[in-house]
């Protein structure tokens, strides 16, 4: 029995998670076959918790982007006469009348904390259907089982590209005519504006590979990650527009490279599904003994951009101020904490988790493991020479002056 048949004439309750959109949405696209549809969202239990070091697990930057996303979603759903309930806890869900529904639908997650919540919510309903739509490749369509996936990205990528089975959007929205290049605001409409601007108006996709290591401005990279992290736009929708761009504008190394980045994203998602809690342990998935220390003084100098290394400090200031940091910056600050200060990489990953508006557990913790040498990398560690990196990527010191003024 397919999804349409299973929800036909049923009272459906959809649990919104990292699929905060209405276009290209499995259940919204099948709204007409349901008897009724009501939606809900449960706040992250971490919202009001603190790390042992004393900082909030989720900073206001992340909370603001999420709230903008939910506000936009609620407004769009209301136009279709669909109610979106925002619950602070599972207990609030349990006290509601939503449990009387015939069936629960939801997006499956691979995070360990998310899976724990998932089991609790699923147990409250008579029946349920889950969807694997956070990645470009559906795990069911892999040319190997998750348990047998290649441990290194290059082998993974080659097998996926040879297999070439990617998820297809349920619907293709028209891109907005009005575009705003600098807006980093939560919501589906903002995500589509970013596609319209970066891809088609500025044709930034044509030069993505050449500019992606930049650090100043809005348009050196696609900056789609915050919207992907919240599901304001799906990976399969981004892939659709990459292919459309290649057919209507140009196809080159840069257009391929953004697709390449989507595969990196899939790789980390699937590796988290495979390894589970090991992703968050000090020894990582390799279970390697590390001599990194829990040195609070060094950590706080790093976190507050007071290390004395201008490139590191500038990037940490940008992160603290905006909730954003370039990919080049992330690699350098992570390397500096681990390989220059010899501080526990888990603290750095947690600091990024609390601030980044594009936080995603698989990508954040997977990349930190990679830098620390306990993840998916044949090298023992990846140390960046931050002085050399500054000379190469900020030769005139413009970025450092911007954030250290």
Question: 11-22 burial, b for 16+ CB within 10 Å, e for fewer?
Answer: ebbbbbbbbbbb
Tens of pLDDT, residues 111-160: 888 999 999 999 999 999 999 999 999 999 999 999 999 999 999 999 99
Q: Is the pLDDT of residue 61 over 80?
A: yes
pLDDT of 378: 63
Determine contact, residues 321/355, Cβ cutoff 8 Å.
no
Q: Is the pLDDT of residue 328 over 90?
A: yes
pLDDT of 225: 96
**Domains along the chain with CATH numbers:** 7-131 (3.40.50.620), 139-275 (1.25.40.80), 281-404 (1.10.579.10)
> For tokens 């003084």, what's the residue?
297
- Token pair recorded at residue 403: 């954030």
Tens of pLDDT, residues 253-307: 999 999 999 999 999 999 999 999 999 999 999 998 888 899 999 999 999 999 9
pTM, two decimals, is 0.95
């Amino acid at each position: 029995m397919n999804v349409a048949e299973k929800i036909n004439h049923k009272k459906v309750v959809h649990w919104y998670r990292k699929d905060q959109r209405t276009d290209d949405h499995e259940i919204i696209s099948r709204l007409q076959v349901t008897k009724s549809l009501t939606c809900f969202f449960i706040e992250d239990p971490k919202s009001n918790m603190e790390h042992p070091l004393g900082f909030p697990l989720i900073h206001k930057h992340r909370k603001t982007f999420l709230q903008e996303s939910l506000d936009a979603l609620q407004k769009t759903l209301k136009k279709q006469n669909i109610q979106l309930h925002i619950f602070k806890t599972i207990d609030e869900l349990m006290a509601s009348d939503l449990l009387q529904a015939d069936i629960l639908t939801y997006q499956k997650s691979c995070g360990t904390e998310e899976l724990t919540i998932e089991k609790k919510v699923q147990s409250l309903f008579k029946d349920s259907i889950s969807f694997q739509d956070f990645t470009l490749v559906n795990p069911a369509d892999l040319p190997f089982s998750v348990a047998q996936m290649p441990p290194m990205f290059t082998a993974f990528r080659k097998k996926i590209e040879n297999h070439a089975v990617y998820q297809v959007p349920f619907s293709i929205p028209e891109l907005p005519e009005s575009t705003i290049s600098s807006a980093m605001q939560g919501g589906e409409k903002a995500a589509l504006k970013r596609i319209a601007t970066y891809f088609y108006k500025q044709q930034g996709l044509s030069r993505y590979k050449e500019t992606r290591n930049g650090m100043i401005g809005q348009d050196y990279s696609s900056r789609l990650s915050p919207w992907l992290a919240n599901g304001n736009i799906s990976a399969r929708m981004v892939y659709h527009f990459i292919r459309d761009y290649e057919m209507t504008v140009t196809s080159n190394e840069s257009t391929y490279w953004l697709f390449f980045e989507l595969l990196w994203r899939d790789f980390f998602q699937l590796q988290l599904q495979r390894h589970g809690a090991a992703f968050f342990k000090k020894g990582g998935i390799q279970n390697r003994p590390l001599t990194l220390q829990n040195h609070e003084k060094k950590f706080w100098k790093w976190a507050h951009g007071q290390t004395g290394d201008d490139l590191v400090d500038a990037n940490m200031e940008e992160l603290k101020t905006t909730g954003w940091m370039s990919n080049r910056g992330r690699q350098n600050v992570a390397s500096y904490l681990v390989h220059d200060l010899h501080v526990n990489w888990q603290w750095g990953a947690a600091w990024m988790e609390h601030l980044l508006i594009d936080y995603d557990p698989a990508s954040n913790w997977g990349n930190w493991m990679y830098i620390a040498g306990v993840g998916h990398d044949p090298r023992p560690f990846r140390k960046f020479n931050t002085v050399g990196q500054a000379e190469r990527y900020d030769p005139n010191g413009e970025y450092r002056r911007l954030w250290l003024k």
